[in-house]
Amino acid sequence: MRLKSKIFLAGSVLIIILLFTPKIINASGYSLSIYPTIIKIKTNPPATVKAGIRIKNLSDNPVELGYVLKPFVASEKSSGQVKYLLYSDYTSKNTNFLQGVRILENDQTISKIILSPKQEKNLTIVIDIPREEESIDRYFSLVFLAQNQDKPDSSYSRIVQGIGTNVLISINPQGHKAKIKDFSTSPFVSGGPVKFNVKVENIERNFINADGYIIINNIFGQTVGKVNLGPRNILAKSAVKMSSKENNDVIWTENFLLGSYKAKLYVNYDNYPTLSEETRFIAIPAKPIIILTIAGFIIIFIKNRSKSC
């Protein structure tokens, strides 16, 4: 009897603990990777374009992914960012075009993907472009979305994680034409590094890939510096601030500068003739000059004092 009551008591305590222990929710996050970071397509329809995409679950939990296609235009910030169209701004042409985009896994069209921990899958994006498709560029992001389905009793925000890659498509690409919209720097500098503003505008209807470099010559015509520009994709009828290969700004890192300099920018795009433009700046190292001048006056003063003594 005593044993039975002990078992009953232990059972009751266990039930109470189970009832009142907060529900455990697996709210740990996801980690995903995608490759490539951009897909650029040039086509003369009719075509069924195929391109490979790798997506990997880097976390220790399985994840179910859906995907969406989000059309975009170039951001007004000219920084290489995209600007997504609002659903209300979609045209029937946008919608019809996106209906021709499918994702395949093992040659089967899918709407969802399940990735085990650390699993990587090779997918194929297939874009059907009919012969009568309008000869313009189409840009969209393919975004994979993961979300937690747990539902706590209290107030909460469910986090949806999205990772994507950009797809640029030129349909019946014509000629490409670009121009240097801005190449400038401060006309007077007291020393390096020198920051250049470089903006390239694509004035045609198809995206281009631009890169280039800046050669800096001193007052004697000697080449004293070179800055390589990283590649940028410039969407149709838009302008982009170029950046160096190493960071987001175009910077000549030379520190000691003196005199007049000429900087010449060369921009290449899609195997077209190189564009070029020049700018000049004058470097006056005010601090060293002031120090040298003061030192000169001190020497004169000491010399005169010693002679008068």
151 to 190, contacts with other proteins by CB under 8 A? 151-166, 168
Of 126-145, binders to other proteins (CB under 8 A) are 141, 143, 145
Token duo for residue 76:
């007004």
How large is the C-alpha radius of gyration of the chain? 31
Site mask for other proteins (CB under 8 A), range 208-247, x = bound: -x-x-x-x-xxxx-xxxxx---xxxxxx----x--x---x
Q: Should residue 272 be labelled a site residue for other proteins when binding is judged by CB under 8 A?
A: no
Contact 278, 264 (CB under 8 A): yes
What is the nearest approach in angstroms of other proteins to the Cβ of residue 99?
19
What is the nearest approach in angstroms of other proteins to the Cβ of residue 9?
32
CB of 52 or CB of 193, closer to other proteins: 52
Considering only 19, 107, 256, 305, the residue that binds other proteins (CB under 8 A) is 256
What is the nearest approach in angstroms of other proteins to the Cβ of residue 223?
5
Of 93-132, binders to other proteins (CB under 8 A) are none
Count of positions on this chain that bind other proteins (CB under 8 A): 101
Of 33-92, binders to other proteins (CB under 8 A) are 33-52, 54, 56, 58-59, 74, 79-84, 86-88
For residue 72, what are the contacts with CB-CB under 8 A and spacing of at least 6?
82, 83, 84, 85, 139, 140, 141, 166
d(CA 67, CA 11): 47
What is the nearest approach in angstroms of other proteins to the Cβ of residue 92?
18
Considering only 67, 148, 183, 189, the residue that binds other proteins (CB under 8 A) is 148
What is the nearest approach in angstroms of other proteins to the Cβ of residue 199?
14
Site mask for other proteins (CB under 8 A), range 274-303, x = bound: ------------------xx--x--xx--x
Which among 6-14, 22-30, 99-107, 185-193 is the span making contact with other proteins, rule CB under 8 A?
22-30
What is the nearest approach in angstroms of other proteins to the Cβ of residue 29?
4
- Phi and psi at residue 86, in whole multiples of 5°? -75, 150
CB of 98 or CB of 145, closer to other proteins: 145
d(CA 160, CA 166): 19
Handedness of CA 13, 15, 21, 24 (dihedral sign): positive
Contact 104, 33 (CB under 8 A): no
CB of 34 or CB of 203, closer to other proteins: 34
The letter for the amino acid at 57 is N
With CA atoms as reference, report the closest residue to 192 among 272, 288, 275: 288
For residue 54, what are the contacts with CB-CB under 8 A and spacing of at least 6?
33, 34, 35, 120, 121, 122, 123
d(CA 114, CA 239): 39
CB of 28 or CB of 116, closer to other proteins: 28
What is the nearest approach in angstroms of other proteins to the Cβ of residue 64?
12
CB of 85 or CB of 203, closer to other proteins: 85
What is the nearest approach in angstroms of other proteins to the Cβ of residue 299?
6
Token duo for residue 182:
């801005």
Contact 147, 67 (CB under 8 A): no
d(CA 223, CA 56): 47
Cis bond upstream, residue 193 (ω within 30): yes
DSSP symbol at 89 = G
